[in-house]
Amino acid sequence: MGLHTRAKRIPLPQYLLRISAILVLAFGLAYVLNLTIKTIPGSEQTDYFKEVADLYTKDLTLPDGSVVTLNAGSSIFYNNNFGQGNRDIIMEGEAFFDVEPNKDLPFKVFVSNSTIEVLGTSFNVKAEKFGIQLCVVSGKVAFFETSNKNNRIELVKDEMVKYNTRKKEFDDKIDLNPNTIAWKTGKLEFRNTPVEEVLYTLAQYFDKKLVMDKNLNFQDPLFSGEYSTESLEVILEDLNITTQQQFEYTINDKELVFSVKN
């Protein structure tokens, strides 16, 4: 079974809102870029290339052969010496990296006040308002505070972790949830998953704000299923069967709304 691709048609009002958000993001990125560049030794006089994914995901091949997939609204920056003197990336938003191995030249991703360093691996990074989520799909990754390398954690295949950028603290490592990279794989997988968690995952994947009636109570049913091309409506009908028709829902351009079934 399956899900719609991310490159979907956007209704005009939502399209205009996203254009406005991207313009705001562009100014914010310039400010963040200047702050982040200052943390990279010897970078002040270096020219930077910028790659941006506006409304859709974007696949890129870097000069060293590494492949990056940017999620919509995300950006990366790298300098004109990338692949020769360094493999340093500055990023905002969310990106999946498949890194070409090079034991002599570590691949580094600078995001907010932290650094991710690898030799050759694949991983996903998501920068949020007050945190960073790192998921490792293959290989081994070091994740540390840029100004304090002793504040660090190492992850291996199928592990993930969150870092609080305000408190400068790492959460405990947990097993990789494949749905955290569903935007890249196009697949959603649920294995005895609580219904509320399923709803939050669907809202995030389909780019909707989740609105739930405070009186809605799913009485702890668990849901299982795999999807890769089905519509949101098809998945919700499967979910409704699992919960024995406990809810009604409406879908609009911005929201996914759930209420108690009358």
Please tell me the predicted confidence (pLDDT) of residue 41: 52
**What is the residue extent of each domain of the chain?**
2-177, 187-260
63 pLDDT above the threshold of 90: yes
Q: Is pLDDT above 60 for 37? A: no
| Distance between CA atoms of residues 126 and 143, nearest Å | 13
44 or 21, which is more confident = 44
The full DSSP string for the chain is: -EE--S-----HHHHHHHHHHHHHHHHHHHHHHHHHHTTSTT-TT--EEEEEE-SS-EEEE-TTS-EEEEPTTEEEEEETTBTTTB-EEEEESEEEEEPPP-TTS-EEEEETTEEEEESS-EEEEEE-SSEEEEEEEESEEEEEETTEEEEEEEEETTEEEEEETTTTEEPPPEE--GGGGHHHH--EEEEEEEHHHHHHHHHHHTT-EEEE-TT----S-EEEEEESEE-HHHHHHHHHHHTTS-EEEEE-SSEEEEEE--
Percentage of residues in the chain with pLDDT exceeding 90? 69
Lowest mean pLDDT among 42-51, 68-77, 242-251: 42-51
Distance CA 92, CA 137 (A): 20
Tell me how far CA of residue 241 lies from CA of 231, 251, 261, in angstroms: 16, 18, 13
Q: How confident is the model at residue 129 (pLDDT cuts 50, 70, 90)?
A: confident
Specify the pLDDT at position 34: 53
Which residues contact residue 78 at a Cβ distance below 8 angstroms, ignoring those fewer than 6 apart?
48, 49, 62, 88, 89, 90
CATH topology of domain 187-260: Phage tail protein beta-alpha-beta fold (3.55.50)
Report the mean per-residue pLDDT for the chain: 86
Max CA distance (Å), the chain: 65
Radius of gyration, CA atoms only, the chain: 20
pLDDT exceeds 60 at position 194: yes
Contact (Cβ atoms closer than 8 angstroms) between residue 47 and residue 15: no
pLDDT tens, residue by residue, 213-261: 988 887 778 999 999 999 999 999 999 888 887 789 999 999 999 998 8
CA angle centred on 28, ends 27 and 30, rounded to 5°: 65
Residue 42's pLDDT is 53
Query: Is residue 164 scored above 60 in pLDDT?
Result: yes
Burial class (CB in 10 A: 0-12, 13-18, 19+), 148: exposed
Instruction: Report the percent of the chain where pLDDT is more than 70.
Output: 82
Tokens of 209: 């704000």
Q: What is the mean pLDDT of residues 81-110?
A: 96
Cβ density class 180-205: b for 16+ within 10 Å, e for less: bbbbbbbbbbbeebebeebbebbbeb
Tell me the average pLDDT across 35-51: 64
Tens of pLDDT, residue by residue over 133-142, are 999 999 999 9
CATH top-level class for 2-177? mainly beta
What is the per-residue pLDDT for 12? 41
Residue 36: per-residue pLDDT: 52
Tokens 């890129």 belong to residue: 60
